[in-house]
Structures are given as C-alpha cells and as structure tokens.
Amino acid sequence: MSRPVRPHQLVWAVLITLLVWSAMVASACVYVEAHWQAMVPLRGQSIQVRLPSGLRAQADVRTPLQTRIDTRSTIAVPIHQTVGVELIKPVSATAVIHTVLPVDTSVSVDQEVPVVTEVEVQVPLVSWLPRMKVVLPVKFSVPVRFSVPVHLQVPLDLDVHVAGRLAGPLQIPIHTVMHATVPLHTDVQAEVLNQADFTLLGLQDPFRLTIHEALLRMPLRDIAWCHNITCVPSSMTWLAGKR
C-alpha cells in the first residue's frame, strides 16, 4: 500500500525544487556575467571625449616636402659575365711553338747485301810442278737483318701559321668596372615627420569624435540594464557600490 502525500510534504518538495532551480539560475547568471562579453557594432557613431589632466601623449606632425633634383651622378657598375661571340669569317693566326718532342722508336733493317769479289786460289796440276795461281770471280748476296732502338728528345722552335673556322660560339669572360654618368631630372615628394611629447595640464574641454566603423567588446558585468528611465546596474557593479 502507498501512503498518501500530505499537503505540507508537497509544499516542502515544491520549495526545495524552487530553491535548487533558483540556485542554478543564479549560478548561470553569475557565470555569464563574469565570462561573457557583449559585442556592439558601431557605424557613424558620434561621441564626446574629454582627456584627463596629466595624460601623456606623443604628437606626430607630418609636413609634405616637394623639391626637384637636377644633377648628374657618376656611378660605377661592376660587370662579371660571360659573352658568347660567334665568328663568321675564317680566323688566321700565328702560333709560336717552343717544345721538346720525345722520340721513342726503333729502326729495323731487313735486306740482302750483294757481294762481288775475286778469290785467288792455288791449284796443283802435277805433283812435281809448282802450284798455279788462279783468280776466281765470286758473286753472292749476304742477308742483313737487325733492329736499332732510338730514344731521343728533339727540341722544336716553330712559328706556325694557323687558319680555320670555329665550330661554335666563342665564350669570352668579361670582368671589368664600367663608369657611367647618369643625369637625374625628377620631382621628389617626401614627408618630414616631427614628434613631440607633451602632458595635458588642467581640465580640458570635451571634443567630438566620429567612429566610422568599429566593433565594441565589453564584459556583461560592466553593462547597466535600463528600462525607460530606470537603470538597474549589474550585480558586480551594485555590490561594488555597496562596499
């Protein structure tokens, strides 16, 4: 069996629920007010500004300056580059050669040397007679075969005339400094900037400024909520005033 709910128990339950809900709403309001920001776009807004006394500032004064330059300036231009030159006509030149020519070879001889001579021979005819001298002509060939190594250093001093055509363009490196005079005739426009530090003394009159376009960010705790004429400050501002 379920027990019936009494009226005072129902009232207590409703009160506890309201207290919990109120605490949650208050916590959410405090968090939003402390951490959230309001963004207000401003366009063409006219405001009035009063600078406080003792404010330190710096002023920039820009003065336009117009003049004309009429002069001639001498400049030095270094040139470091390689230029390709193509020669169309034949090129002729005289080359002087001073060198030593090494010779390392061998001389081979392979031939037959003809020999023609006379040989004197004593021929015995009869044993008791003296020998008779006989001259016999002799003709024959002697083969000669030999090889002689040659090792020489031959000095050469020659003046050679060379003529011909170049197969491609000739690459000529150029490393020089060119001095040139440049005329300058022009109008010059510049700005002269002057900076001055100053401090405001005394109470200054307010002046008007116009904000063309801006996005204003401010914490919700610094905003006072107004309805008709009555303004209700935020909780943080109200508590600070109470202190």
pTM beyond cutoff 0.95: no
Domain containing 122: what range? 88-165
Asked if residue 138 belongs to a domain, the reply is yes
Asked if residue 187 belongs to a domain, the reply is no
- The dihedral over CA atoms of 115, 120, 125, 129, expressed in degrees to the nearest 10, equals 180
Which tokens sit at 42?
Answer: 């401003």
Asked if residue 227 belongs to a domain, the reply is no
How many domains are contained in the chain? Answer: 1
List, in sequence order, every residue forming a beta bridge with 78; answer none if it has no partner.
Answer: 177
Asked if residue 196 belongs to a domain, the reply is no
Residues 186-215 have pLDDT tens digits of 887 877 777 778 787 777 788 888 888 888
* Residue 167, C-beta contacts closer than 8 angstroms, at least 6 positions apart: none
Asked if residue 175 belongs to a domain, the reply is no
Asked if residue 109 belongs to a domain, the reply is yes
Asked if residue 37 belongs to a domain, the reply is no
- Compute the distance between CA of residue 221 and CA of residue 160 in angstroms, rounded to an integer: 104
Residues 42-81 have pLDDT tens digits of 888 888 888 777 778 787 777 787 888 888 878 888 888 8
Q: Could you give the 3-state DSSP secondary structure of residue 29?
A: helix
- Across 86-169, the runs of DSSP E, i.e. the strands, are 91-123, 132-164
pLDDT band at 179 (very low <50, low <70, confident <90, very high): confident
